[in-house]
Amino acid sequence: MTNPFIFNGYEGAELFFDRENELDTLMKCVSSKINVTLIAQRRMGKTGLILRLIDELKISRSKVTPIYVDIFATRDLAELNKCIANAIVKTFPEGTSVGKKLFGVLRGLRPMIGIDPLSGGPQVQLSYQNQTEKEHTLEGLLQFLDQQSNPVLLAIDEFQQIREYPETNVEAMLRTYIQRLHNVCFIFCGSKKHMMTDIFSNPQRPFFSSTQFIGLDAITEEKYAQHIRRMFMEGEKHIDDEAVKYVLDWTKRHTYYTQRLCHDIYDVKTKTVDVDIVRNCCDNLLRLNEPYFLQYKQLLTDGQWNYMIALAKEEEVTQPYANAFLKKHNIGATAVARRQLQTLIDKDLVFEETTKERSYYRVADLFMLRWLAREY
Ligand SMILES: Nc1ncnc2c1ncn2[C@@H]1O[C@H](COP(=O)(O)OP(=O)(O)OP(=O)(O)O)[C@@H](O)[C@H]1O
Ligand SMILES: [Mg+2]
């Protein structure tokens, strides 16, 4: 039997676990054309959920045409256009009647169609455009989607990337164009919580209050434990309760890390799994990742590295400038700590999480957290 714990990409509804409520809400939003903002910590399962939604639209034979773009690698408006245009070209191939229209539209907008040297398929190439033309292209692409007979879902992953563009008006521009559409609904997805909430819930920003927020928390302990036990049982293996508890504590039920560890445990060639086997798998995972963690040691100053270790040792820190914390870990003055923490957040090595009850800081990569706490 193949390993039922995936930790890379999406491999169909059977291997995608839980998230029924979120999926249900997303399906309802799509059918009522409500735009959604999906925000959650890195590796919690946002992209997986979007791909699950796209799959569900297919399974339920929905009329909606889904289009997914990941704009993480785009650096400016021209690249955003290219990214969206490429996704549209893939969705409506040249041979189809919609595809023919699309190519007509694209020619009018001046981007040319070339051949992708890797896949041999069509690829949009943008000829030089001035700023107005670039804006016109984005509007043209969205209008094209709006003119389709079937409704369109455009899911934009890593949306916060638009904040990195040299053009500062992309947010306002997008909002203006989107307001004119009737047949396209959007999912804006991202993990940089501050940026995403600033885009969508700051009264001074163009997207203010225009979307429904959906967040993804860790799957509950009870559900995840049940799921793990069942997957092992179906593979004619057994995992004991102590081992399951260890897995869920060690990975804090953070989806990617839990899936990854379970994957490795499932691959161990024994029929029964106890906590010693789990510990062994944890050690192996940390050893495997060690060179990658050590790279960061080179990239950070001693002070920043020391701050990472302090955070890792405490697991979660609610008062990162409190005297007791600074003293215990030899961090230095509050002003120094403030700078160090900010740098670590900017580099995505640490995140701040705010729940109803409290707000805390944590080393973002859980394996790195476990490794730092163990090594230092
Ligand atoms: N509900 C789920 N059931 C099973 N596996 C899942 C689930 N959600 C996520 N995963 C697994 O965890 C991995 C990480 O999830 P995903 O890439 O969706 O997270 P993300 O929130 O988009 O992360 P990032 O912020 O880094 O883009 C996925 O590749 C997938 O294999
Ligand atoms: Mg993602």
Distance 196 CA to ligand 2 centre (A): 14
Instruction: Dump pLDDT digits (tens) for 343-372.
Output: 999 999 999 998 888 899 999 999 999 999
The predicted pLDDT at position 162 comes to 96
CATH number for the domain spanning 260: value is 1.10.8.60
Domain boundary among 169, 193, 215: 215
Answer yes or no: is 360 within a domain: yes
The predicted pLDDT at position 111 comes to 58
Measuring CA to CA, how many Å separate 354 from each of 41, 194, 249?
A: 11, 11, 20
Judge contact between 345 and 352, C-beta under 8 A: yes
Domains identified in the chain, total number: 3
Give, as one character, the DSSP assignment of residue 67. E
In whole angstroms, give the CA distance from residue 187 to residue 36.
5
Q: Is the CB of 42 under 6 A from ligand 1?
A: yes
pLDDT: which is higher, 156 or 113? 156
Mean pLDDT of the chain: 93
If asked whether residues 30 and 169 sit together in one domain, one would say yes
The pair phi, psi for residue 150, each rounded to 5°, is: -95, 150
Q: Is the CB of 4 under 6 A from ligand 1?
A: no
**Domain extent for 334:** 300-376
Categorize the per-residue pLDDT at 129 as very low, low, confident or very high, splitting at 50, 70 and 90.
confident
Domain boundary among 242, 266, 295: 295
Query: Mean of the pLDDT values across residues 247-257?
Result: 98
The predicted pLDDT at position 101 comes to 83
If asked whether residues 210 and 337 sit together in one domain, one would say no
pLDDT: which is higher, 112 or 75? 75
If asked whether residues 376 and 252 sit together in one domain, one would say no
The predicted pLDDT at position 119 comes to 72
Distance 296 CA to ligand 2 centre (A): 22
If asked whether residues 42 and 59 sit together in one domain, one would say yes
Categorize the per-residue pLDDT at 259 as very low, low, confident or very high, splitting at 50, 70 and 90.
very high
Report the range of poorest mean pLDDT among 79-93, 122-136, 235-249. 122-136
Distance 258 CA to ligand 1 centre (A): 10
Atom nearest to 216 CA in ligand 1: 21
Atom nearest to 260 CA in ligand 1: 12
52: enclosing H helix or E strand? helix 46-59
Categorize the per-residue pLDDT at 93 as very low, low, confident or very high, splitting at 50, 70 and 90.
confident
Categorize the per-residue pLDDT at 163 as very low, low, confident or very high, splitting at 50, 70 and 90.
very high
Flag whether pLDDT at 189 surpasses 80.
yes
Ligand 1 mutation pick, 256, 266, 348, max ligand atoms within 8 A of CB: 256
Answer yes or no: is 68 within a domain: yes
Flag whether pLDDT at 315 surpasses 90.
yes
Flag whether pLDDT at 278 surpasses 90.
yes
Q: Is the CB of 257 under 6 A from ligand 1?
A: no
CATH number for the domain spanning 365: value is 1.10.10.10
Flag whether pLDDT at 144 surpasses 90.
yes
Q: DSSP readout, 257-326?
A: HHHHHHHHHHHSS-SEE-HHHHHHHHHHHHHHHHHHHHHHHHHS-HHHHHHHHHHHHHSSBS-TT-HHHH
Question: Residue 156: which of 72, 276, 245, 255 has the closest Cα?
Answer: 72
Tell me the β-bridge partners of 213: 37
Query: Mean of the pLDDT values across residues 185-189?
Result: 98
If asked whether residues 180 and 153 sit together in one domain, one would say yes
The predicted pLDDT at position 58 comes to 97
Flag whether pLDDT at 114 surpasses 90.
no
If asked whether residues 236 and 181 sit together in one domain, one would say no
The predicted pLDDT at position 128 comes to 65
Flag whether pLDDT at 73 surpasses 70.
yes
If asked whether residues 95 and 177 sit together in one domain, one would say yes
Categorize the per-residue pLDDT at 332 as very low, low, confident or very high, splitting at 50, 70 and 90.
very high
Residue nearest to atom 10 of ligand 1 (CA): 45
Q: Is the CB of 259 under 6 A from ligand 1?
A: yes
| pTM for the predicted model, two decimal places | 0.94
If asked whether residues 138 and 277 sit together in one domain, one would say no
Q: Is the CB of 6 under 6 A from ligand 1?
A: yes
Q: Is the CB of 253 under 6 A from ligand 1?
A: no
If asked whether residues 308 and 335 sit together in one domain, one would say yes
Q: Give me the residue label for tokens 């049940």.
A: 226
Q: Is the CB of 14 under 6 A from ligand 1?
A: no
Instruction: Dump pLDDT digits (tens) for 19-69.
Output: 999 999 999 999 999 999 999 999 999 999 999 999 999 999 999 999 999
If asked whether residues 226 and 210 sit together in one domain, one would say no
pLDDT: which is higher, 353 or 100? 353
Ligand nearest to the CA of 191: 1
The predicted pLDDT at position 88 comes to 92
Q: From the CB of residue 41, how many other CB atoms can be counted at a distance below 10 Å?
A: 20
Amino acid at 332: G
Helix, strand, coil share of the chain (percent; to 5): 55, 15, 35
Flag whether pLDDT at 79 surpasses 80.
yes
Q: Is the CB of 44 under 6 A from ligand 1?
A: yes
Portion of the chain with pLDDT greater than 90, in percent: 83
Domain boundary among 215, 241, 262: 215
The predicted pLDDT at position 260 comes to 98
If asked whether residues 68 and 167 sit together in one domain, one would say yes
Q: Is the CB of 117 under 6 A from ligand 1?
A: no
The predicted pLDDT at position 110 comes to 62
